[in-house]
Amino acid sequence: MALSGRHLRLASDFWSPWVNFQYGNNGSLSMSGIAVDIFATIARQLNFTYVVKVPQDGEWGRGLPNGSFTGLIGLCQRNEADVALGPFAMSWDRYQAVDFSTTIHFDQYGILVPRPKREVDLSGVTKPLSWQVWAALAVTICISIAVGLLMNAFIKYTSNAKRNPDEQPAVDEIQSSWITKVMLTETVVPEPLAAPGRVYLLSWLFAGFIIQAAYSGVLISLLTVPKMNIPVNSLQDLLSHGKIPWLIELGSHIHHTFMKAESGLYKKILKDAVIIKAFGAEREWAREQRFAAIIPITSMKKALSDDYSKTSSCFYYIAREPIVGVPFALAFPKGSDLVQHFNKWLDAQKESGIIDHSIIGETANATACLANPGKEGTKGYMPFSVMDLSGIFLIFVVDSRISFSGMILTSQYRDGKLSFSNHKILHSLQPHQAK
């Protein structure tokens, strides 16, 4: 075989789901992951052995001003490794230092953001209509009441002017309570008999039907399919929101890209970023502290899949706008004769679908968490909770308190007699009893 008997130096570091490290009690290192399986297959086909080297600085490969590189790319650049597993985002700067294999995967860098928590919204019952509509409705009611009073005055005037003094006035007055009854879908009793009252009531019946239909339809949709505020969907959102800290992996392609920026958004993002070695290794801590992470989407899906597998919960969502898309490949020292041998078997695994199948297998359970916040799972709806209806319950409590107070006052003084025992409070209201 082409590389039979050769012993290669393999540079690698932890990156889930591509490379996972497990250290034994005796300090021995075992590896697993998608890239490890790819490399193991090539080792069997080309019949070579290898030893693993881990960079002391824990970086992937960041260019320095003197032209040298850190991390895994630096090991290949200095010929201290025969192949670096990665896989690495292929960039022009890195290509000046190492040779790359054929592309094994295309990925995008994006933002993994903590899912927003649902908050109690006491004003939720007002959300189906905008404040302008509520204001217009209030003004319209006030105008209608005023018009009704004027019409009543006119009806009384004309009735008194035309009636026989011996006859009782047959006045069909317009009542402002009709508006409340119509809006609350209560029965209007007694019904108006005169034409002005019928036209007045008919107008509000028509308006009330439209408002009720629009309000109830939108309210039901808001409650059954809650719409949560998604604060971050881009780098600019992340910077502007200002409430979510973010992480960047040390020596990654995106880290190097931000470092090259002399001004603008990238420079601002890097300035406030927390730099870590590997998100996969710091995921539990990052989740507890509610950090966002600027990492490749495959790594995001792996995190979502692991979280859902362990807890059946989704702690993150993927921001809608990706940052940059790049191809990923293995790295070799410049002029290495290994590239052509590796490319043959890399192409074979890629074309057979083995690599894509492995990626799907590692991230399969991420599907439930790819939905927008508030729509996790498979139902697409959520049952009502007390918190969802908290605004309605608050209105009910306030209204009941007012009604109860009114009932006490009217019950304590009815027909000039005390119905309840609070004689002292309403004693002054008692009419003078003749003795």
Which residues does residue 63 pair with via DSSP β-bridges, in sequence order? 69
| Contact present, 413 and 429 (Cβ < 8 Å) | yes
Q: What is the pLDDT of residue 433?
A: 47
C-alpha distances in Å from residue 140, one per residue of 109, 137, 144: 53, 5, 6
Residue type at position 26: N
Query: How many residues belong to the chain?
Result: 435
Give the residue-averaged pLDDT of 113-140. Answer: 76
Which one-letter DSSP state was computed for residue 311?
H
For the chain, count helices (H), then strands (E): 14, 12
- In sequence order, what are the residues at sequence separation of 6 or more whose Cβ sits closer than 8 angstroms to the Cβ of residue 431? 416
Distance (Å, whole) CA 117 – CA 283: 19
Alpha helices in 242-389 (DSSP H): 253-260, 265-271, 283-289, 297-311, 338-351, 354-362
Residue 36 — pLDDT band, cuts 50, 70, 90?
very high
Higher pLDDT, 377 or 93: 93
pTM score of the predicted model: 0.66
Mean pLDDT of 314-327: 91
**Can you give the pLDDT at residue 87?**
92
Q: Which two tokens stand for residue 334?
A: 């410049």
CA distance 138 to 298: 53
The pLDDT tens digits for 207-236 are 877 887 887 777 776 666 656 678 889 999
Amino acid at 54: V
Query: What's the mean pLDDT when you consider all of the chain?
Result: 80
Q: For 148-194, what is each residue's pLDDT tens digit? A: 788 777 777 776 655 555 554 444 677 777 777 777 777 777 777 77
What are the DSSP calls for 65-126, one per residue?
TTS-B-HHHHHHHTTS-SEEEEEEE--HHHHTTEEE-S--EEEEEEEEEEPPPP---TTGGG
DSSP code for 169? P
Between CA 189 and CA 372 the distance in angstroms is: 49
% of the chain beyond a pLDDT of 90 = 34
Give the three-class secondary structure for 317: strand
Would you tell me how many other CB atoms lie within 10 Å of the CB of residue 43? 16
Q: How far apart are alpha carbons 313 and 359 in whole angstroms?
A: 21
Angle at which helix 297-311 crosses helix 354-362, to 10 degrees, equals 40
Interatomic CA distance for residues 37 and 47, integer angstroms:
15
The pLDDT of 98-104, averaged and rounded, is 94
pLDDT of residue 4: 75
With vertex at residue 409, the alpha carbon angle to CA 405 and CA 413, rounded to the nearest 5 degrees, is 165
CA dihedral 307, 309, 314, 319 (to 10 degrees): 70
Answer left, alpha or beta for residue 397, where phi above 0 means left and psi between -120 and 50 means alpha: alpha
